[in-house]
Each structure stands twice: as structure tokens, then as C-alpha cells.
Amino acid sequence: MKLSTLRVVSLLLLCLAGALFVVSRVVTLTTMRWFERDLALRAELAVAGARSSLIEHAGDTPRILELFDAITRDERILGVALCDAQGEVSVASRDYPRSLRGQDLGVDLGAEVSHRIVDGEDHQLQISAVPLAGAGSTTYALVVHDLSFVLRRQDVVDRFLLALFLAFAVCGTLALLISSRLSFRAWTARLRSYVRGETREPRFRPLLQDLRALARTIGDQRTSGAGLPWTPSRLKQLLRTDLMGERLVVIANREPYMHVKGDDGVVRVLHPASGLVTALEPVMRACSGVWIAHGSGNADREAVDAQDHVQVPPDKPQYTLRRLWLSPEEEKGYYYGFANEGLWPLCHLAHVRPTFRQADFEHYRAVNQRFADAVVAESGSDDPIVLVQDYHFALAPRMIRERLPKASIITFWHIPWPNAERMGICPWARELLDGMLGSSILGFHTRQHCNNFLEAADRYLESRIDRETHGVEQAGNTCLVRPYPISIEWPLRWPAEAPAPTDCRRVVFERLGLGPHVKLGVGIDRLDYTKGILERFHAVERALDRYPDLRGVLCFAQLSAPSRSAIGEYQDFDRRVVAEAERINARYATESYRPILLLRAHHEQPAVLTHYRAADFCFVSSLHDGMNLVAKEFVAAREDERGVLILSSFTGAAKELSEALVVNPYDVERCADAIALAVSMPEDEQRARMHALRSIVAEFNVYAWAGRMLADAARLRWHERVAGQLSPFPRP
């Protein structure tokens, strides 16, 4: 029994006991009064029957005693006596109590019948004085009644009342328990239906407000985990507890593992060069779930099962990769066309004109729909957590929302978002904005990109911008627009195939044929015009021009993975990069020295890490970049706290990594100075800078990125559940 019920039952019993006491007292007093009156009447009747004989035989004691015998045959009459007006008893029956023979009888010997209760030897007695000859009589008949039968009757009544009390107590308690249970059930049913939004009961409104506040507080407490580092296990824990073990469904165009058959007929697994993959893959390893991607490897179909699934990573499966096949026309229109010739140059300020074709957009829309359908097929519940990744899927959030209205859709835009004016260049700007607003949460790397998006939504759509919460409200749905700076796995996994960290410099220097005196810079990018590779080469050239001591000493290794090679702009760029490297090398190369080493090939992670560790500096010179994870990877690889990062101010990373040498890549002179400074920086300064950079990346790692987004999604789900928009809380 709960405490509150126990209290109510105790109160009930207390009230019943009080009532019993009062009733029993009232019954005792009332019946006593009735008995008194009754006995007085009976005394009067008994005397009335013998009155004439008593008067007639006055003075004849034996005769009077006979009359007394007749009267005392009534078993309740204990004795009879005659007395004068002073109470002096002249004759009394045998059992008449001795104590009542004195003068002070305590009864009024007046003209009327009077009576009084007195204590007898064993029990109470009632003595009634009846005038024998009416008013003014000087002789009285004293009749003494034994009251013990009254006590016996009262005793019976008391027992009866007690039994009644017990019966009431038991029945009352049971009735109370049953009715409280039933009314509690009815109350909670009404409350639940109110919380789910099925009914409107104004009386519950204050309660709901409290619940919302509570949910917010609990949600904040549960998900903030203030002060704790973000790790894979903390992320897993967040999914298990705050998101009730829901599995993640990710859509990202680029797959994390590609099966590629080489000319030798051997199938190899490659990790594509993609910042998105670098960031998201460790998150998926931590969280499990399914990653839906375009199956673009030439041997991808050979690796999947009947559902187009393949478990990855291949050596230690931790999540599912679902491959979606695109026809060459779809790939051309959706991927090369609208995504990479339209949106990519639109979002990056790199002076390449975006190209928009109607047919490309049709393919983009159709492919978005295919991915949205795949999400529905893979989600396995009506309120999954869906992570939509990047500019390939601006329309998918709305399409998913239409099929799964209760889903938590977190969309992350990995590249910059242009200002509203520039966005207006796109003929389908409205449709893209509306598609993205199908999300529950929309993430960008920086506050500036969020503001640009809000401005565009304000300008091009019928929507309400809530500047307080950074939300966009459209037809009753709100999408929160927040900055979540992306990052990398920390600590970095050092692959088994990579040389030991201490051996990296020796391995790379041997492979590149460099002497021990060489100062090595590295750049690691896809061959993309946004990355500022030409500007980087020009800075190296200018450094050699202005700092002659660096000639024969400064070497810059550019590891560039060919990218999007079907697009003319990329082919041109590739040619220009090769040409510029050749031109600069032609100026400064000697028999044993080439300032620029252009390694145009896909490099797997172990090779990339080895170059980071071998270098004296890493140069990230993007003309415009959402974040740039090369900068963070370089920092993470330098456990030795050596090496210098030169970082473009036009990257998202520059907002966090202020201990780097931050440069404007268009300012070739300052970039040359930065190179000269990097190669001559004292070890102490390198260590101090690298230490600060590493602590930032360690704290704001990719688990923090995913954790913050998922925690925000968890909070939203709590609030929505409390507001009655999602199914009831699953049992943990």
C-alpha cells in the first residue's frame, strides 16, 4: 500500500473510531435515560396496584410484607419499603438494601413520583419514591430497582457497535483502495491522452508545463554530461539511454568502403578521400546502424548480399553499409551535374561559375527520392533517427518527413552555405531551402553559415525565423539551425600497416629521396579548385624567391587524390596543377632537388598519416572550406608535438585552431613568410603551439560533434513526446 493511501486509510479509521465513541456515548446516555423513566413508571405501576391494600393494612407489618413479596416478584425489583415524609423507613422487604434505610435517601419526597440512581454494593440501583395517598401524603413507597440488566444491555450494544465499526473499517478501507485505484487509472489515462495531444483538458495545462520544464531540465542534464570527454563509449551510451537504443540511419553519397577491382583482377577495399567519410566513419563504428550510400566501386556489387548490404569495416564489422545503385545517367545528372557543377561552386567562393541544368535537377530530385525511400525501408520504426549528410541531399529531408512524420532528421551540410544573395543564383533555391527544412535539426560548421541560411529562408520562403532559438517555423513545423563544427576521431587510430610513429620521417625521406637537411612541407587534398593548391605552390615559389637559403632545402610534397574527373573544370584544374608544379620545379630544380613533389594518386590512411608525421609543416590553403579536416588530422598525428600548421583563414578550422599560422591564401607574400617562419620555428614554440592545438582537437573531437547533435535530437524527442507528438516513451 502506498504511503498516501495508508494515510487516507488511517484517517478513515480514526474518523470511524471517533464516530463510534460518540455514538456509543450518545446511545448509553439515551438508553439510560429511557430506562430510568421506564423503571420509575414501573415503580409507580407496582405501587399503584398495591396502593389500596397498603393503605388499608397500614401498621399490619406481616400483611404489608406479604404485599411487598408480591411486588418483589418482579425480578428487577430488589426491594420495597415504606417511609414517612422524613425518609424514615418503617417497614422494608427482605432484600431492601440497608444503605437506603437512613434519613438521607437523596430523593425528593414531594407530591410527585421522584427517583434517583445510587450505588449499590455490587451495581447501581434506582430508588423511586411514590406517595401512597397522592398529593400531601406523608407515607411513601420506596421501590428499589436493580440496574445491572441495563449495564448488560449496554454491554451488548457496545459490542454491536464495535462489530459495526470493524465491518465499516474493513469495507471502507477496501472501497477506498478500489476506488482510488480506479480513479487513478482513469486520471492517468486522461492525462496520457492529453500529453499525447488526443484530448484538450485545460486543467492539465499547468501540469504539462511543469512536465515540459522537467523534461528540458532532465534532458539537459542527461545529455550535457558537462566536463566529460566525448568518446565512442559515451556516444554509444547516449544512443542507448537518451535515444532509447534507436539505430542510426545515415544517408551520404560517398561510401566509406569501396570495393575496387584493379587491372590485376584483384578486388581491394579502398577508403575514399573525403572529409565526410573521415568524420562519419568513426561515429558509425561507435554507434552501429546503417549507412546508405551510392555503390560506386567497380566491384561493389560482388561484395553485397541480396539486400545490397555489406557489413563493414571488412576486418571487424560494426555497422551495415547499404549500397544504392545509380544508372550512369543518374550519376551524371545528380552527382556530377547538379551536386558538383551546381551546388559545389555555388557554395564555395572559389570563382568557378555554377552551372545549373534542368535535367540535372530532375535527376537530383529523383535520386533524393530514391535515397529517401531507402531510408524508409532501412529504418525499421516510424520514428527513426536519420542523419542526412551534405549537399547531395538537400531535398531528401522533406521527402523523408513526408513518409516518416515522426522521424528525427538531422541534416548536416559539410560545405559552406553562401549568403542569401548568392543563393538566389540557384533557380531551385526555394525548393532546396524547403527540402532542407524538412529536418528537425539542420547543422552547419559555423554560426556564419547558419546565419546565411536563416537569411535565405527569410528571404525566399514563407516562414517565421525565431532568432531566439535559431529555428525556422514553417506550417507548424520547426527546424532548428545550429552550428556543429565537425572534427576527427581522437585519439587517432594508428593503422597496423602504418610505420611506427618514430619511423615515419625516415620512411618518407627514403621514399622521396630527401637528404636529412631538407625541410619538408606537406599538402594533402583532393584535386579540387577550392583547396588553393595553386596558391600553395605559388607561396612555395615566392618563399624560394625571397629566402635563397631555402633553395635546395625546402621541399613541398603535395599528395593529391584525383577527384570528380568527369567534370571539365576538374580536368582543367588537374592540368593546371601539374603545369604549375612543373613550371616552378623548372625554375629551382637541380639534379638532386625538386621543390615540389606532386604525388597525384589516391593515398590510403596509413600513407597519409606517415606523411603528416614526417613533415616539418602542413599547409592548408583552401580558398573556401566548410571545416577542413586535414588541418585537424595533421594536429592529431603529431603526438610528438612537433611540426607547424599553416592554415587558410577561409576554412572553418581557422575559427578553432588559432595557434596555427593563419594566412590569407590570396596573399602570396604573407604565405611565403609563413613558410619561412614554419621551417625556422624553434622547437619550443612548435611544441607550445602544437600542444594548444592538440588540446582543442582532443576536446572537440568527432564524438563531440555527433554527440552534440544527437543530444539535441534527444532533447527534441523528449519535448515532442511530452507534447504528445511521438509514441509513448519506450520502456528502457
Contact residues for ligand G6P, defined by CB under 6 A: 254, 272, 274-276, 390, 414-415, 526, 563-564
Pairing of strands 258-261, 267-270: antiparallel
Report, in Å, the least distance between residue 331 CB and ligand G6P: 11
Report, in Å, the least distance between residue 588 CB and ligand G6P: 32
Cell numbers at 624, concatenated: 573556401
User: With 0-12 CB in 10 A as exposed, 13-18 as middle and 19+ as buried, what is 152?
Assistant: exposed
Q: Judged by CB, which is closer to ligand G6P: 538, or 564?
A: 564
* Gap between the Cα atoms of 86 and 138, Å rounded: 9
Residue that has been written with the C-alpha cell 480514526 in this structure: 14
Instruction: Write the CB contacts of 371 (distance below 8 Å, at least 6 apart in sequence).
Output: 251, 292, 324, 393, 396
Cell numbers at 501, concatenated: 610513429
Report, in Å, the least distance between residue 274 CB and ligand G6P: 3
Report, in Å, the least distance between residue 383 CB and ligand G6P: 27
Report, in Å, the least distance between residue 415 CB and ligand G6P: 5
Report, in Å, the least distance between residue 444 CB and ligand G6P: 12
- H or E element in which residue 647 lies: strand 644-648
Q: Judged by CB, which is closer to ligand G6P: 273, or 543?
A: 273
CA 602 to chain centre: 42
Report, in Å, the least distance between residue 271 CB and ligand G6P: 12
Q: By three-state DSSP, how is residue 6 classified? A: helix
Type of residue numbered 401: R
Report, in Å, the least distance between residue 526 CB and ligand G6P: 6
Phi-psi sector, 718: left (phi>0), alpha (psi -120 to 50), beta: alpha
Q: Judged by CB, which is closer to ligand G6P: 272, or 438?
A: 272
Q: Judged by CB, which is closer to ligand G6P: 126, or 621?
A: 621
Report, in Å, the least distance between residue 276 CB and ligand G6P: 4
Shortest Cβ contact with ligand G6P: which residue? 274
Residue 636: CB atoms within 10 A of its CB come to 22
User: With 0-12 CB in 10 A as exposed, 13-18 as middle and 19+ as buried, what is 310?
Assistant: buried
What is Dmax (Cα atoms) for the chain? 171
Instruction: Write the CB contacts of 309 (distance below 8 Å, at least 6 apart in sequence).
Output: 290, 320, 321, 322, 323
Q: Judged by CB, which is closer to ligand G6P: 258, or 480?
A: 258
* Gap between the Cα atoms of 411 and 439, Å rounded: 6
Q: Judged by CB, which is closer to ligand G6P: 72, or 274?
A: 274
Q: Judged by CB, which is closer to ligand G6P: 246, or 281?
A: 281
Q: Judged by CB, which is closer to ligand G6P: 9, or 276?
A: 276
Cβ pair 136, 110 in contact under 8 A: no
Report, in Å, the least distance between residue 272 CB and ligand G6P: 6
Q: Judged by CB, which is closer to ligand G6P: 274, or 411?
A: 274
Q: Judged by CB, which is closer to ligand G6P: 564, or 594?
A: 564
Report, in Å, the least distance between residue 255 CB and ligand G6P: 9
Q: Judged by CB, which is closer to ligand G6P: 445, or 694?
A: 445
3-state secondary structure 363-418: HHHHHHHHHHHHHHHHHCCCCCEEEEECHHHCCHHHHHHHHCCCCEEEEECCCCCC
DSSP assignment of 53-100 equals HHHHTTT-HHHHHHHHHHHTTSTTEEEEEEEETT--EEEE-TTS-GGG
* Gap between the Cα atoms of 434 and 463, Å rounded: 10
Q: Judged by CB, which is closer to ligand G6P: 360, or 673?
A: 360
* Gap between the Cα atoms of 542 and 85, Å rounded: 149
Report, in Å, the least distance between residue 302 CB and ligand G6P: 21
